[in-house]
Amino acid sequence: MPPLLIPVVVFIEGFCSLGAEIIALRRLVPHIGSSIVVTAPTIGFFLLALALGYAAGAKINDRYLQVVARNFLISALLLGIGFSTPFVNGLFAHIEPVWLAYTLLIGGILCPLAWLLGQTVPALTNLMQTRRTGEASGMALYWSTLGSFLGSLGLSVLVMQWLGISAAVALCALFLLIGALRLQRAPEVSTRGWQVLAVFLAATLLIIGLNVPLLRGQLLNEPQEVTETAYADYSVIPTQTADGEPVRAFKVNSSTASLISDGSPPRYARYIDYLRQTLLKDLKLKNSDILVLGAGGFTLSHREPLNRYTFVDIDPKIQTIAEQQFLHEPIRGKFVVDDARHFVTNTAKHSGDRFDVVVVDVYSSHHNIPSHLVTREFWHDTRQVLRPNGVLLANLILDSKLQSDYARNVLATIESVYGRCAIEVLHKDRPLANVEVLCQNGGSSLSSKPAKHYTDEKNAADIDHARANAGR
């Protein structure tokens, strides 16, 4: 047996097992977000399946190389097909409720993959020629963990950033195929050469076809090109308004983030029209500094020369995508690549920059706001970067009747920092609607002076009304 065969195979196992976990978490973002209630169970189920794989691998008594080769081949197909864009999007598009689709993806793809790959280290440790069991297991774990480290770092920082999530899927799947093929060619393994090569060639073509966007579009007749980054999936779709005017829809994670037309004046999404109306007509802003957290399609500042805009978004590629595929012109304003929470916190503490308006329009899935952007601390920091009498404008997607615990708690959290805010619900006839919240920086926090409740037993409504109108 070649001396480096086992270390290389174990390295591939570590690289691809943790790579599969990272890929799974990224694939879930467009559909159910990246909150702790999503990431924690996903990691937990992965580790449980991996532990069960270790136990299963310890029970293998012979044909170690054949078993690992088989496991690598099956894992490559599970990874390359099960985490491909068409499969994941199709799963969440056709399976309801969303928790069932999640269960099928994690229980049917990620966990079996982890269980298969988990068998690698205990199985191959039996073939390591050392004098001590501890030395064999220690070196096997070293190569596996080293692979996991490089897999997590390389896929998240390099591959996903520059080539996209589909490239990460294809890379891991092809690594597993290479490992399986090398094991099949070992002298200790008796195989029929041409049949093995045919199987591996077919698997390679299938994986590449499903995970290379250009080939995938031809194979599945996809109508639009999807640009995948480490943070989101983007696409621009030709569509039309209710009155038949052609527009382009800028989709982020399969959700329409913005609309634009080539007419004069251009047409925008309804919530963008509302925000522009509030800024330019209601507030009559001119020569003002406006901070926009969440770039979307950059339509808030489109052909708007009266004010200065600073857009903050975590994805460094969104500007290029919006300019080339959506706006068809350069953005108007300054673009900063940063997490929204980090930007406002750092600006509040270390920078003298202050803004007349802060617009919050950040999402991690169809309607899910990242959890660290709905806390009192975040809203407090947005208030700190506002000038006196500055304005907060938040675009939220909540139930249209504002009856859910989430809706009531989010709004109560904002008002605990800013005081009473104006709330406008767009699309009241839909289950989920854009909810526009406008708060004045000059208001007093409701947390220090909670509102009273009027009851039949103790009713001060008339007195409060008289006090409110005394100074008018």
Percent of the chain's residues with pLDDT above 90? 54
Q: With bands split at pLDDT 50, 70 and 90, how would you rate the model's confidence at 469? A: low
pLDDT digits (tens, 9 = 90+) for 58-71: 999 888 999 999 99
Instruction: Please give the distance of CA 183 from its chain centroid, rounded to a whole number.
Output: 36
Closest CA to 344 of 335, 334, 354: 354
Mean pLDDT of the chain: 87
* Range among 28-32, 133-137, 279-283 with highest mean pLDDT value: 279-283
Q: With bands split at pLDDT 50, 70 and 90, how would you rate the model's confidence at 443? A: low
Q: With bands split at pLDDT 50, 70 and 90, how would you rate the model's confidence at 447? A: low
Domains and CATH numbers, the chain: 5-220 (1.20.1250), 250-440 (3.40.50.150)
Q: With bands split at pLDDT 50, 70 and 90, how would you rate the model's confidence at 449? A: low
Q: What is the mean pLDDT of residues 202-219?
A: 75
Closest CA to 64 of 140, 131, 175: 140
Q: What local confidence, expressed as pLDDT, does residue 306 receive?
A: 94
Per the annotation, the verdict on 243 as an active-site residue is no
- Assess whether the previous peptide bond of 388 is cis (omega < 30° from 0): no
Q: For every residue of the chain, which 3-state class applies, written as one string? A: CCCCHHHHHHHHHHHHHHHHHHHHHHHHHHHHCCCHHHHHHHHHHHHHHHHHHHHHHHCCCCCHHHHHHHHHHHHHHHHHHHCCHHHHHHHHHHCCCHHHHHHHHHHHHHHHHHHHHHCHHHHHHCCCCCCCHHHHHHHHHHHHHHHHHHHHHHHHHHHHHHCCHHHHHHHHHHHHHHHHHHHHCCCCCCCCHHHHHHHHHHHHHHHHHHHCHHHHHHHHCCCCCCEECCCCEEEEEEEECCCCCEEEEEEECCEEEEEECCCCCCCECHHHHHHHHHHHHHCCCCCCEEEEECCCCCHHHCCCCCCEEEEEECCCCHHHHHHHHHHCCCCCCEEEECCHHHHHHHHHHHCCCCEEEEEECCCCCCCCCCHHHCCHHHHHHHHHCEEEEEEEEEEEEEECCCCCHHHHHHHHHHHHHHCCCEEEECCCCCCEEEEEEEEECCCCCCCCCCCCCCCCCCCCHHHHHHHHHCCC
Q: What is the mean pLDDT of residues 383-394?
A: 94
Q: What local confidence, expressed as pLDDT, does residue 430 receive?
A: 87
Q: What local confidence, expressed as pLDDT, does residue 216 receive?
A: 55
Q: What is the mean pLDDT of residues 315-322?
A: 93
Q: What local confidence, expressed as pLDDT, does residue 368 receive?
A: 73
Q: What local confidence, expressed as pLDDT, does residue 191 receive?
A: 60
Q: What local confidence, expressed as pLDDT, does residue 448 receive?
A: 52
Q: What local confidence, expressed as pLDDT, does residue 146 receive?
A: 96
Q: What local confidence, expressed as pLDDT, does residue 185 receive?
A: 80
- Look up tokens 């060639």; give the residue: 201
pLDDT digits (tens, 9 = 90+) for 173-195: 999 999 998 888 877 666 656 67
Please pick, among 361, 399, 462, 464, the residue that the annotation labels catalytic.
361
Q: What is the mean pLDDT of residues 393-408?
A: 90
pTM: 0.76
Closest CA to 277 of 322, 269, 255: 269
Q: What local confidence, expressed as pLDDT, does residue 193 receive?
A: 66
Q: What local confidence, expressed as pLDDT, does residue 472 receive?
A: 44
